[in-house]
Amino acid sequence: MCNSNRFDALVKIGDKPALQKIELSPANIDFYGCDVFNETAIRQYLSKGIAEQLIATINNGTPLDPTIAGDVAHAMKEWAIERGATHYTHWFQPLTSGTAEKHDSFLEPDGKSGAIMSFSGKNLVVGESDASSFPSGGIRSTFEARGYTAWDPTSPAFIKRHPNGATLCIPTAFCSYTGAALDKKTPLLRSIQALKAAVHRLMNCFSVEEANVKVTLGAEQEYFLIDKKFYLQRPDLIQTGRTLFGAPPAKHQQLEDHYFGSIKPRIVSFMTEVEKELWALGIPAKTRHNEVAPAQFELAPVFEEQNLSVDHNMLVMEVLRTVAERYGLICLLHEKPFVGVNGSGKHNNWSVSYGSRNLLDPGKDPEQNMIFLTVLAGIIRGVDLHADLLRAATCSVGNDHRLGAGEAPPAIISIFLGDQFNEIVERIVAGDRKASKKLEPMRIGVDALPPLPRDATDRNRTSPFAFTSNKFEFRSPGSSQSCANVNMMLNTIVAESLDYISEKLEKASPEAFNEHLQSVLRDIMKKHKRIIFNGNGYSDEWRKEAEKRGLPNFPNTLEALKPLMDANNQKFLDKYKVLSPLEMSSRYEVFLEDYYRRLRIEGEIASELASSVIMPVIMSEYSAAISALSTAASIKFKAGTKGIKNKATLLGVGIDAITDCCAVLDAALSEMDAAEIKNQMAKLRELVDSLEQIVDDQKWPLPKYREMLFLY
Ligand code: ADP
Ligand code: MG
C-alpha cells in the first residue's frame, strides 16, 4: 500500500514544466496604472472642471460635490467598457479576513427588445445589500438587515480582469442602516481625518505654513509558496492555511542559505507576473526577495497614502494567490504555515508628512528637529499609553503563533529607537539636572543638534515597533491581516498624543515657547521612556524587565482582545470619532467569534486527520508487524524479531495515545475549551510527528516538510 499520490507528486515536480512567457513586457512601463481610473484617465474622460474637482478630492480630501457623481459614473463606465468590463462592483472590506464584491452588470433592457449599458451616479455613490451574512457583532438585529456601501473617492476605481472579461471595482465603505461601521475602511478613514486635524493643530503651534497632511504606509508582505500538488494532499492546509502535522526536517533554516538567496526561475517568473499585474493596477511593487524560511518570500511596495496603501495590500494578497495557481503553486498567507521555521508578518511602515516634509525625518537643522522631536515624543507617549490597543489590533488565531510564541516580534509592545535617538531622549530627560548628573542636558531649539546621517538607527529585528531612519516600522501585524485595524489604532493614538502636546504649547507665550516645549518634551520622555527598549526582544530578561516596568503583556488573542471592552479605551476612540462604544464592542464580539470558529476548525480537522488519514496507516503497519511476530513465533524463528517487536511497541503505544488524545480533543471541542483544544492539538501533533519518523516512508499519507518546503 504505497501512497502513490504523494510519490506521483514528487515525480512530477521533478519534470519542471516549461515556464510560460507573459505577454506584456514588464520593461515597457507605459502600462503602469492602465487598469486604474487615475488622474490621467480622469482628465481624459471628464470635462476639465469636473476632473479638477475629483482630483482635488483624491489628493486633498476636499469634500466631493454630489452633483458631479452622474458625470463621473458615466466617464468611469465608458473607460471601463473600453477595457472589457461588463460588470461593476462595490468593493469593500467587511470584518472577515478578506474583501467582498457583488457584481452587477451594466446591462439594462431598453424596453424595445434590446439593451443598453448603463451606470448612474447613484450606482456609483451608494449600494444597498443584505448585510445579514456579514459579521456585525450584534450591531444590527436580523430585522435590520440592510447594509450600505458608500463610494470612497479617495481610492481610485480599478479593473479586475479574468479570462472572460473584466469588472469595474469601486472601493467603498460599508455600514449599517444606522450608519454604524461594519467594515475596516470606515474607522480607518475616520482615524486618518483625526490624525490630520491633530497634525494641523500641532504645526500651527510651530507657526509652520499651512500644508497638506499625508499619512503614509508601506506594507511589506511575507508569504510562502508551495507546489499545488502537495497542497492538494494536505487537508489541514486547505482548511486552515497551516500544517497541523509534520515532523521537522533535518534541514530547515539553520544553514541560513535561503534569505536573499538567488531566486529560482519558477519563482522569479511568478514574481514578475505578479508585478506586472500589480503595476497595471497602479500598485508600486518594488522589492522582491527570498525570506528567512525555506519557501518563504517577500514583496514590498513603495509607500503611498495610507488608505490607498491599505486597499493595495488587500489586492497584493489577492494577486499573489491567483497568479501562484497559474504557476502550479499555492501562496500561503497564514502567519505560521509550518512550525519550526519562521512565520510571516506584514511590516507596517508608517509615517506622516506635512507638505513636502516627512515629520519623522530627523533632518539637518534644529528647527526641523524640534518638530521631529515633538512628533517623536508624541508617538512615544501614545504607544506607551495605548500599547494594549496596538496589541489588540494585531491579534488573531494565526498571529498567536508569532507574537509571544518565541518568534519575532514579542507580544510585549515596546519601541526601538537605536543608540543615537535613545541618547537624545536621555539628554532631554536630563534637562532636569537633578535627574541625571552624567548626561549633558540638551537645549531644544537652542543648541543645534548634530546633523543626523540618514541611517542613524541600526537594525533591530526583534522589536515590534522600530524607528527606521524616517518612519516607524510596526512589525506585529500578521501576514494575512488587513493593515486597516493597526493603522486605525496607530493614527488615533498619535492624534490624541499630538493634541495633548498642542494643548500645552498653545498656552505658551511666543517668547517662552522654546522653554515651554523643552519642559513638555522632558515631562513626556521622562514619564514614557519606559516603553523604549533597544535590546533583544526575544530574551527572557526582557519579559521580566517589561513586567517590572509595568508594560502590558497579552500572550494570546483571548487576552489581547480584552482592551477593546475597556471603558476608558472605548471613551478614547469615541472621543476621536473613530469607533463608538457600540462599534468597539461589536468588533470585540466579531474578533472573538472569529477566534473560536477558527480554533474549532483547526481542532476538528486535526482530530479527523489523525483518526481517518493517519491512524489507518499506522494501524496497518502495526498489524503487519504483529502478524510477522506471530508467524515467527509459530515457526520458532527469532532473527529480525527484535526490530519488529520494537516497532510494534512504538506503533501500539502510539495508537493508544492517539486514540486517547483524540477523545480528549473531541471533548474539549464540544465544550469549546480553547486552552484545552490547543493543548490537545499540540500533544496530538507531537505523537503523530514522532510516528511519521518511523512509519514506512512509502506509506506516509501526507506530504512531508522536507518535500513541501524544498521542492518547488
Ligand atoms: P527596510 O529598511 O525595512 O528593508 P525599506 O527602506 O526598503 O525597508 O522600506 C520598507 C518599506 O517602507 C517600503 O515599503 C518603503 O516604501 C516604506 N517606506 C519608506 N519610507 C516611508 C515613509 N516615509 N512612510 C511610510 N513608508 C515608508
Ligand atoms: Mg523592513
Give dist(CA 19, CA 9) in Å, integer. 18
What local confidence, expressed as pLDDT, does residue 178 receive?
Answer: 83
Ligand 2 midpoint to CA 244 (Å): 29
Give dist(CA 691, CA 616) in Å, integer. 13
Tell me the three cell numbers of residue 168.
469595474
Mean pLDDT by 10 residues, the chain (712 residues): 74 72 77 95 96 89 86 97 96 92 94 94 88 77 74 95 95 90 95 97 94 97 96 96 94 81 92 96 96 95 97 98 96 97 96 95 69 96 98 96 84 91 86 57 53 57 90 96 97 98 94 91 96 89 93 95 98 97 95 96 98 97 96 93 95 98 98 96 98 94 96 89
* Main-chain phi, psi angles of 662, to 5 degrees: -60, -35
DSSP-derived secondary structure letter, 357 = E
For residue 217 and ligand 1, the question of a CB distance below 6 A is answered with yes
For residue 404 and ligand 1, the question of a CB distance below 6 A is answered with no
What local confidence, expressed as pLDDT, does residue 95 receive?
Answer: 92
Q: Can you name the CATH fold of 191-437+454-579? A: Creatine Kinase; Chain A, domain 2 (3.30.590)
Pick the residue whose CA is nearest to atom 2 on ligand 1: 468
Ligand 2 midpoint to CA 347 (Å): 6
For residue 349 and ligand 1, the question of a CB distance below 6 A is answered with yes
- Among the bound ligands, name the one nearest to the CA of residue 472: 1
Closest by alpha carbon to 295, among 619, 15, 711? 711
Domain positions in the chain: 31-183, 191-437+454-579, 598-708
- Compute the CA torsion angle 382, 384, 388, 392 (nearest 10 deg): 60
For residue 460 and ligand 1, the question of a CB distance below 6 A is answered with no
* Residues contacting 34, CB < 8 A, separation 6+: 83, 280
What local confidence, expressed as pLDDT, does residue 53 receive?
Answer: 92
Tell me the three cell numbers of residue 103.
457584481
Give dist(CA 589, CA 62) in Å, integer. 35
What local confidence, expressed as pLDDT, does residue 68 receive?
Answer: 92
For residue 458 and ligand 1, the question of a CB distance below 6 A is answered with no
Give dist(CA 709, CA 712) in Å, integer. 8
In contact, 138 and 589? CB cutoff 8 Å: yes
Domain 31-183 sits in CATH at 3.10.20.70
Ligand 2 midpoint to CA 20 (Å): 32
What local confidence, expressed as pLDDT, does residue 140 receive?
Answer: 64
- Among the bound ligands, name the one nearest to the CA of residue 474: 2
Does the fold of domain 598-708 match that of domain 191-437+454-579?
Answer: no
What local confidence, expressed as pLDDT, does residue 513 receive?
Answer: 92
What local confidence, expressed as pLDDT, does residue 446 receive?
Answer: 46
Choose one of 259, 303, 465, 490 to mutate for the ligand 1 pocket test, by most ligand atoms within 8 angstroms of C-beta. Answer: 303
For residue 351 and ligand 1, the question of a CB distance below 6 A is answered with yes
Relative to the CA of 361, which ligand 1 atom is closest? 23
Pick the residue whose CA is nearest to atom 6 on ligand 1: 468
Element housing 161 (H / E)? strand 158-162
- Among the bound ligands, name the one nearest to the CA of residue 222: 2
Domain 598-708 sits in CATH at 1.20.120.1560
Relative to the CA of 470, which ligand 1 atom is closest? 23
For residue 220 and ligand 1, the question of a CB distance below 6 A is answered with yes
For residue 357 and ligand 1, the question of a CB distance below 6 A is answered with no
